[in-house]
Amino acid sequence: MASTRRTGEPHDAGKRPGRRSAAKPARVSPGGGRPGESPPGAQSTPPGVDRLQSEFLANISHEFRTPMNSILGYTKMLLKGSYGYLNEQQQKNLRKVYENAQHLMGLIDDLLNLSNLELGRMALQMVPVSVKKVTLSSLVSVEPLLVDRVLEVEHAIPPDLCPVLADEVRIKEVLINLLNNAIKFTPDHGRIMIEAAMVTPPGEDAGKVEILVRDSGIGIPPEHHKTIFGQFFQLYEPEGSDYQGVGLGLYISRKLIELHGGSILVQSEPGRGSTFSFRLPAAPATG
Ligand SMILES: Nc1ncnc2c1ncn2[C@@H]1O[C@H](COP(=O)(O)OP(=O)(O)OP(=O)(O)O)[C@@H](O)[C@H]1O
Ligand SMILES: [Mg+2]
């Protein structure tokens, strides 16, 4: 069938609604470099330059956020009909503008997070957080990624599970990153599950809450269980494949969980799905 894209009509940069599909910075190739380290053979950066680069990235990403928020806000109002009626074609094209602006905003947020993490400027707001509430709001955030997909997405959070002591915004970011990956790397008719349970690690008195994101997707070979947590690491070239992204989600998630004093783990076998898990301290009971 002939293409319906007319000459002069802009390309739709994002394949699916949701996060990022923007231009790509240099990527560590599979097998090259441990998480957070430069690839072998890379020239070392002079002292101070890393910091300057992070400062520059932090400032520029921060500056990008204001106009992007305005683009998103006005586009949303136009879509809602606040400035008058839009015909079907206008709505369709404006929705593409909105989705691509969201992709870009996701990338800007990643860069801002990355530079703030590198600069040690990420201050956590530790408060008791309901695991069920943060799970449900993360699932709402990834809903656009599930349009046109045939995936079973479920959650199993015990109703009496105690809250965790954490920064709600950051934990939501981690869950969105893990869900985003689970959705991306699980073919249609697969299953994604978020689970949480109280655990008491041996030798520790205080209980922890373990949160798991399981998928029945393509899985990860054992030799990459560490490298996937590095910066700009991707197992598949997004060009020519259906997988979009820049390889930052797991690196940022690992750093955010480490800031909470925990670690993020993966269990996975090629063709048999993946389970990502992390533990957070249970919030002390009040009253
Ligand atoms: N659930 C998963 N199943 C299979 N492979 C995965 C899964 N999660 C991550 N990976 C592998 O680890 C790589 C790194 O993941 P990460 O989330 O950091 O980057 P990305 O998803 O490619 O891009 P971004 O998160 O920046 O959009 C992925 O490109 C993929 O190869
Ligand atoms: Mg990702």
3 Cα: distance to centroid of ligand 2 (angstroms): 30
31 Cα: distance to centroid of ligand 1 (angstroms): 15
Highest-scoring range by mean pLDDT, 16-30, 109-123, 162-176:
162-176
CA dihedral over 101, 103, 105, 108, signed as positive or negative: negative
Nearest CA to ligand 1 atom 27: 245
d(CA 100, CA 240) in angstroms, rounded, equals 20
State the pLDDT confidence band at 59, using cuts at 50, 70 and 90.
Answer: confident
pLDDT of residue 47: 62
The pTM assigned to this predicted structure is 0.79
Find the mean pLDDT for residues 216-226.
97
Find the mean pLDDT for residues 229-248.
82
Find the mean pLDDT for residues 156-161.
94
204 Cα: distance to centroid of ligand 1 (angstroms): 32
Find the mean pLDDT for residues 174-191.
96
78 Cα: distance to centroid of ligand 1 (angstroms): 34
Q: Average the pLDDT over each of 48-57, 90-99, 169-178 and give the range with the smallest value.
A: 48-57
163 Cα: distance to centroid of ligand 1 (angstroms): 28
Q: Average the pLDDT over each of 7-16, 123-132, 258-267 and give the range with the smallest value.
A: 7-16
Nearest CA to ligand 1 atom 25: 249
Q: Average the pLDDT over each of 1-5, 157-161, 254-258 and give the range with the smallest value.
A: 1-5
pLDDT of residue 6: 35
219 Cα: distance to centroid of ligand 2 (angstroms): 14
Higher-scoring residue by pLDDT: 156, 119:
156
Ligand nearest to the CA of 182: 1
pLDDT of residue 92: 92
Q: What count of other Cβ atoms lies within 10 Å of the Cβ of residue 259?
A: 15
Ligand nearest to the CA of 212: 1
Nearest CA to ligand 1 atom 1: 182
Whether the Cβ atoms of residue 219 and residue 273 lie closer than 8 Å to each other: yes
State the pLDDT confidence band at 165, using cuts at 50, 70 and 90.
Answer: very high
9 Cα: distance to centroid of ligand 1 (angstroms): 31
Q: Which atom of ligand 1 is nearest to the CA of 215?
A: 1
Long-range contacts formed by 94-101: CB under 8 A, 24+ apart: 96/12, 97/71, 98/72, 99/14, 99/17, 99/18, 99/144, 100/12, 100/13, 100/14, 101/68, 101/71, 101/72, 101/75
| pLDDT single digits (tens) 186-201 | 999 999 999 999 998 7
Which residue out of 214, 226, 228 has the highest number of ligand 1 atoms within 8 Å of its CB and is therefore the one to mutate?
228
d(CA 116, CA 110) in angstroms, rounded, equals 10
pLDDT-above-90 percentage for the chain: 55
Residue 176 CB contacts under 8 Å (≥ 6 apart), including other chains: 19, 138, 141, 142
pLDDT of residue 277: 98
pLDDT-above-70 percentage for the chain: 82
Ligand nearest to the CA of 29: 1
How many residues comprise the chain? 287
Mean pLDDT score of the chain: 83
Higher-scoring residue by pLDDT: 214, 114:
214
pLDDT of residue 46: 59
- Exposure string for 205-224, b = 16+ CB within 10 A, e = fewer: eeebbbbbbbbbbbbbeeeb
Which protein residues touch ligand 1 with a CB less than 6 Å away?
A: 19-20, 177, 181-182, 185, 215, 217-220, 228, 233-236, 245-251, 274
CA-closest candidate to residue 181, choices 237, 154, 219, 125: 219
d(CA 135, CA 175) in angstroms, rounded, equals 7
In the structure encoding, which two tokens stand for residue 179, read together? 């869900």
Q: Which atom of ligand 1 is nearest to the CA of 251?
A: 18
pLDDT of residue 44: 58
In the structure encoding, which two tokens stand for residue 166, read together? 């954490």
Find the mean pLDDT for residues 167-178.
95
d(CA 219, CA 226) in angstroms, rounded, equals 14
Cα distances from 46 to residues 52, 54, 137, in angstroms, run: 11, 14, 42
